[in-house]
Amino acid sequence: MIFSVKNENLQREFLGLSFDNPVGLAAGFDKDAEMIDLMEPFGFGAIEIGTLTPKAQPGNEKPRLFRLPKDQALINRMGFNNGGVNEAVDRLKKRKSNIIIGGNIGKNKITDNEFAINDYEYSFEALFNVVDYFVVNVSSPNTPNLRALQEKEPLSKLLSRLQERNNEKEKRKPILLKIAPDLTDSQLDDITDIVRETKIDGIIATNTTISRESLTSVKDKVKEIGAGGLSGKPLTARATEVIKYLRQALGKDICIIGVGGIMTPEDAVEKMKAGANLIQIFSGFIYNGPSFVKNINKAIINAGV
């Protein structure tokens, strides 16, 4: 009652699903599906769990998550710490909330890229009956070589295999691809070709960036933090640019979920104007606190986007 905004102008029909509002919680916040019933009252229209891998893994050594308050940014190198997909499946079966759930899947660190497809396929099958849509994550900078799976040939094979499995089901589920903001235009062109070829349902743009451009925090501090994905305000403009590019290339029928540096309600409106059908937040929720979803939803109603 405090944080939710119920309004028919917020409702969205995409991916064959009815969203109460377009604001989702981005992947990585509730990797193990432990907090769904706790997070729903903050007013989200969807929660994306994961990234989940077939086997449990500890992720990188701590410290692995840093704040850059001057830049309204985070740097993380969590490295897909999670309890494994099967534990998450058990939790999802017990959840009380019926909020829309996205299942974000990846590969274990110890799995060579050559066998990565098997990891994605395993988690796809495990989660099939307990999530509403799937996200294929090939864009985290914190699993060695993962982003090589964004290249044309491996990506095409991966998505084709998942679509084969999907089409064998009585009722298929939407599959989206989550991409990095660091791709060149020609890589983005390859991706849009593959989206059309494999007939997947949408794209989530974007994951965190490996770039450290335009940071105002002390250079030595940034250097000392070291490797990881940067999120928050320094990502806002690039993520929007990618969304615009993809929308122009793909036309209106492919669902785009816009994420990356939504730090104000106005940023959310801008993402939707750039072509996002739905949006997600992570760093903005950390910096703004619990009323952020409500404020974004109010701005979306006022802007009529």
Ligand X SMILES: Cc1cc2nc3c(=O)[nH]c(=O)nc-3n(C[C@H](O)[C@H](O)[C@H](O)COP(=O)(O)O)c2cc1C
For ligand X, how many residues bind (rule: CB under 6 A)?
28
Q: How far is the CB of 210 from ligand X (least distance, A)?
A: 12
Out of 262, 272, 278, 293, the only residue in the binding site for ligand X (CB under 6 A) is: 262
Query: Could you tell me the sign of the dihedral formed by the alpha carbons of 204, 208, 213, 216, in that order?
Result: positive
Q: Assess 208 for contact with ligand X (CB under 6 A).
A: yes
Alpha helices of the chain — where are they, by DSSP H? 36-39, 85-94, 116-127, 152-167, 185-198, 219-225, 236-250, 265-273, 283-288, 292-303
Segment near ligand X (CB under 6 A); pick from 73-81, 182-190, 241-249, 271-279: 73-81
- Asked whether 101 and 36 are in contact (CB, 8 A), the reply is yes
Whole-number Å distance between alpha carbons of 230 and 250: 27
Q: Assess 44 for contact with ligand X (CB under 6 A).
A: no
* String of contacts with ligand X for each residue 162-191, x by CB under 6 A: ----------------x-------------
- Asked whether 149 and 177 are in contact (CB, 8 A), the reply is no
- Asked whether 77 and 142 are in contact (CB, 8 A), the reply is yes
Out of 140, 143, 198, 277, the only residue in the binding site for ligand X (CB under 6 A) is: 140
- Asked whether 260 and 231 are in contact (CB, 8 A), the reply is yes
Q: Which residues are identified as catalytic?
A: 140
Segment near ligand X (CB under 6 A); pick from 5-13, 21-29, 152-160, 166-174: 21-29
Q: Assess 277 for contact with ligand X (CB under 6 A).
A: no
- Tell me the sheet residues that pair with 259: 280
Q: Assess 284 for contact with ligand X (CB under 6 A).
A: yes
Q: For binding to ligand X (CB under 6 A), which residues are involved?
A: 26-28, 31, 50-51, 65, 74, 76, 78, 80, 104, 137, 140, 178, 207-208, 231-232, 235, 259-262, 281-284
